[in-house]
Every structure is written in C-alpha cells, then in structure tokens.
C-alpha cells in the first residue's frame, strides 16, 4: 500500500500475522502489481468475474460506503485516477507536460457483488482504495492479543487509549474505534503545471476542488472514519454539517485556519 | 445395422435429460444473479406506493445504515507526546 504500518500491543506471532495480513491485502488490491486480483478483475472482458471472498467482501463494503455517502466514495473511479495521471506507484510519478486526460464520473450503481462474484460493465475500472487501507487496519486490530493500536499511513484503529497527533499540531486521546485523515497535502503531482491529487470528485471524474487541505474524523471503526473523512473533504463547505448530522467529530484544516465541528468541540471540552 | 426401437427410445430419453440439465443450469445462474442484485446496496428501488412491495427500498436503506459510522471516542489528551500521528497518506 506504500505506507508505513505502525503496530502497538503485538507479540511476535501477532506481529508476524499482521505483516502477512497487509502483504495479502496488497497482493489482492494493489493497482500497481500486474498480478493483483484487482488488476485481473479490471482486465476481464466479462461482465461477471469470479473473485476471492476477500475481494467480494471488500467490494461489498465499498458499495455500502457508496450507498451511505450518496456515491461520494465510489469504487469505480480507477479510470479517473489513471486519467488524472496516477498511473503508477506514487514514488515513481513524475511531472508531465501533457495535461490530465478527461476523467469518467463514478458508476457505482452499475456494480454488484455476490459472495464470490463481481458483476460490472467491463469498461468500469474498479479501485477499492477508498476503503482498503482502513478496512485492513480494522482487521489487523483483531489480530492483536489485547489492547493496542494499528496505524497504516495515519489511519488508526485502537483498542485501549491511544494519544494521536493531529495535522497542524494538537493531539487527541482515542479510546476505541478508529480515526482517519484524508486530504490533498500528499499524493499530489503535476500535469501541464496543474496540481492533481488522488481524491476524485465522482460527479466530474476529476480531482476535487475542495478548499480543505485535510479532514480528520473519529468513528466507530477506522473504515467508517476514513469514509466519513473523505466524504467530508469532498463535500467542501458542507462537510462539517454532514458530519454533524451523523454525530461524527470532524476537524478541518484549511490553508489559513483549523476548524472543528460542534461534535468535536464537545468531545474535547474540559 | 438398423437401430431397434429400444435404442431409439434410449436416445430420446438421453436427449430429454440433456435439455433438462441445460434448463436447470440457466435457472441456477439466474437464481444466483437475482440474489446478487438483491444483496447490493445500490440496487434500484421500485417507486414506493401503497400497492407495491417496498422490500427493495427497505433493504437499500438498511444496508446504508448498516455501514455503521457510529461516533468516535475522542477526548482531551493526557500526554503531550502522541503515540502515533494521523495524516493524509
């Protein structure tokens, strides 16, 4: 997944199991491994593709996230991401003179997942990274023998108290569930001088023009926090209210201000 | 050698059995497909009217709610040095 994984509370066997766990998820969901299951599915010209239980279950979570966010978190934006220029491992991306290609809007409603099958138009390019990393974190937490936490690229799931440093300073205590940050301060690149990033607006198929730099959300699981943070980011000025309606604490970093919604303020009130 | 009536009857029975198997396969596939559609959160729901079964809409809503955002368990930190940092990855 190209991110650092931090684990606390693991004995040797748990540490080994977590290492294998992330390696397996990388092998299944990587956009940049030619032999990943994701690439096998995307390369298929068939509408119906047999997949592993892990792939099918993760796709169902991605579709549930799409449903819960009215399509903001869309697992069919793989083509749009490639069109924006994110077509290889981020470490290998270089500035290009050619402008980004036209992206395709999301089509998550055209996708179905059964227990062992995926049904989708062959032209749809799946990318499950909207939920993969945070879901892998949640499942890795279950491999710990007791209290501890797992963090992958700053997406955190915890059992027991963990103090989490926040973007642009400050910290919070996370007692259970998950906390995640999404934004455009990393994974940025240029196409014809225009900044691109990996958070695609499903309505346009282009990188979002949200004015937030980073959005942090805490929720009952890491994947819920991650999905909510991405949705709030994409909703731009409507993001704080969207979180508020769901009782979720959110913290928004803009170029000149750090803003927290009412739920966040109340949670941190002395 | 000419086929006797018993051989011809056996061939007919075999052909019928093949047709039945093929039909069963199609029914099996369609059955699985319907289940797949019904299980999907984005399955198009029929217009809700008093005379129509609204189970698809209910399932759609149930799965949407079932995502489980919940509330996050955050509170003021008790230590100055964080255990871990969150950031955009």
Distance CA A218, CA A91 (A): 29
Rg of chain A taking only CA atoms, in angstroms? 18
Distance CA A190, CA A262 (A): 36
A66-96 pLDDT, tens digit per residue, is 999 999 999 999 988 887 777 777 777 777 7
| CA angle in degrees (0–180, nearest 5) for B54-B57-B62 | 125
- C-alpha distances in angstroms, A172 versus A2, A135, A162, A260, B72? 26, 22, 8, 13, 11
A91-126 pLDDT, tens digit per residue, is 777 777 677 778 888 899 999 999 999 999 999 999
Q: Is B4 on the interface with A (CB under 8 A)?
A: no
- Judging contacts by C-beta atoms under 8 Å, the chain A residues touching residue B74 are 172-175, 179, 218, 249, 264, 267-268
Kindly state the helix (H) or strand (E) to which residue B20 belongs, with its residue range. Answer: helix B5-39
- Closest alpha carbon to A217 in A240, A184, A186: A240
How confident is the prediction for chain B on average, in pLDDT? 55
Read off the pLDDT of each residue in A35-44 and give the average, rounded to a whole number.
97
- Judging contacts by C-beta atoms under 8 Å, the chain B residues touching residue A162 are 83-84
How many CA atoms, within 13 angstroms, populate the side-chain half-sphere of residue A204? 11
- Judging contacts by C-beta atoms under 8 Å, the chain B residues touching residue A109 are 42, 44
pLDDT of residue B16: 58
Q: Return the beta strands (E) in A52-210 as ranges.
A: 112-113, 117-119, 148-152, 155-165, 171-183, 188-191, 194-197, 200-201, 206-207
Read off the pLDDT of each residue in B11-23 and give the average, rounded to a whole number.
55
CB A168 within 8 A of CB B87: no
Q: Is B26 on the interface with A (CB under 8 A)?
A: no
Q: Is A162 on the interface with B (CB under 8 A)?
A: yes
ipTM of this complex prediction, to 2 decimal places: 0.84
Contacts of B20 (CB under 8 A, 6+ apart): none
In chain A, pLDDT over 90 holds for what percent of residues? 74
Whether pLDDT at B33 is above 80: no
- C-alpha distances in angstroms, A248 versus A122, A161, A183, A216? 37, 19, 17, 10
Q: Is B45 on the interface with A (CB under 8 A)?
A: no
Q: Do A64 and B67 touch (CB under 8 A)?
A: yes
Whether pLDDT at B56 is above 60: no
Contacts of B49 (CB under 8 A, 6+ apart): none
Q: Is B67 on the interface with A (CB under 8 A)?
A: yes
Distance CA A105, CA A200 (A): 9
Name the pairing type of β-strands A148-152 and A5-8: antiparallel
Distance CA A177, CA B33 (A): 35
Whether pLDDT at A150 is above 50: yes
Q: Do B71 and A225 touch (CB under 8 A)?
A: no
**Residue A157 dihedral angles phi and psi, to the nearest 5°:** -125, 140
Q: Is B58 on the interface with A (CB under 8 A)?
A: no
- Judging contacts by C-beta atoms under 8 Å, the chain A residues touching residue B43 are 112
Which candidate from B39, B75, B88 shows the least CB-CB separation from A183?
A: B88
Domain range for residue A195? 5-268
Q: Is A239 on the interface with B (CB under 8 A)?
A: no
Whether pLDDT at B6 is above 90: no
Higher pLDDT residue, A97 or B76? B76
How many other C-beta atoms lie within 10 A of the C-beta of residue A8?
15
- C-alpha distances in angstroms, A185 versus A135, A181, A239, B3? 22, 11, 18, 82
pLDDT of residue B15: 63
Is the model's pTM score more than 0.90?
no
Total domains, chain A: 1
Which candidate from B69, B84, B87 shows the least CB-CB separation from A248?
A: B69
* Nearest CA distance, A59 vs chain B (angstrom): 10
Q: Is B63 on the interface with A (CB under 8 A)?
A: yes
Whether pLDDT at B7 is above 60: yes
pLDDT of residue A1: 58
Rg of chain B taking only CA atoms, in angstroms? 29
Total residues belonging to chain B = 89
Which candidate from B41, B64, B74 shows the least CB-CB separation from A218?
A: B74
CATH code where residue A175 lies: 3.10.520.10
Alpha carbon A250 to chain centroid distance? 16
Two tokens, residue A203? 């309505």
Per-residue confidence band for B62, with pLDDT thresholds at 50, 70 and 90? very low
Distance CA A99, CA A177 (A): 41
Distance CA A197, CA B72 (A): 27
């Amino acid at each position: 997944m190209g991110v650092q994984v931090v684990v606390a509370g693991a004995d040797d066997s748990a540490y080994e199991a977590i290492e294998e766990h992330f390696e397996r998820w990388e092998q299944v969901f990587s956009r940049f491994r030619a032999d990943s299951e994701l690439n096998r599915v995307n390369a298929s010209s068939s509408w119906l593709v047999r997949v592993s239980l892990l792939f099918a279950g993760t796709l169902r979570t991605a579709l549930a996230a799409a449903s819960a966010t009215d399509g903001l978190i869309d697992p069919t934006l793989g083509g749009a991401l490639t069109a924006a220029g994110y077509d290889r491992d981020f470490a290998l991306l270089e500035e290009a003179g050619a402008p980004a290609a036209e992206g395709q809007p999301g089509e998550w409603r055209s996708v179905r997942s059964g227990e062992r099958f995926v049904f989708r138009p062959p032209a749809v390019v799946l990318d499950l990274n909207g939920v993969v990393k945070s879901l892998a974190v949640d499942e890795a937490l279950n491999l710990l023998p007791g209290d501890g936490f797992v963090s992958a690229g700053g997406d955190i799931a915890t059992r027991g108290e963990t103090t989490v440093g926040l973007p642009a300073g400050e910290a919070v205590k996370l007692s259970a569930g998950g906390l995640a940050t999404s934004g455009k301060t990393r994974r940025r690149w240029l196409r014809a001088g225009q900044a691109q990033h990996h958070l695609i607006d499903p309505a346009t198929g282009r990188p979002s023009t949200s004015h937030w730099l980073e959005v942090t959300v805490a929720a009952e699981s890491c994947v819920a926090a991650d999905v909510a943070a991405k949705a709030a980011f994409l909703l731009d000025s409507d993001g704080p209210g969207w979180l508020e309606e769901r009782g979720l604490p959110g913290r928004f970093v803009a170029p000149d201000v750090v803003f927290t919604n009412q739920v966040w303020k109340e949670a941190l009130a002395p | 050698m000419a086929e006797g009536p018993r051989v011809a009857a056996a061939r007919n029975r075999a052909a019928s059995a093949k047709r039945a198997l093929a039909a069963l396969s199609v029914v099996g596939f369609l059955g699985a497909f319907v289940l797949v559609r019904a299980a999907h959160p984005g399955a198009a729901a029929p217009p809700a009217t008093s005379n129509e079964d609204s189970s698809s809409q209910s399932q759609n809503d149930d799965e949407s709610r079932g995502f489980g955002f919940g509330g996050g368990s955050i509170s003021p930190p008790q230590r100055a040095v964080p255990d871990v940092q969150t950031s955009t990855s």
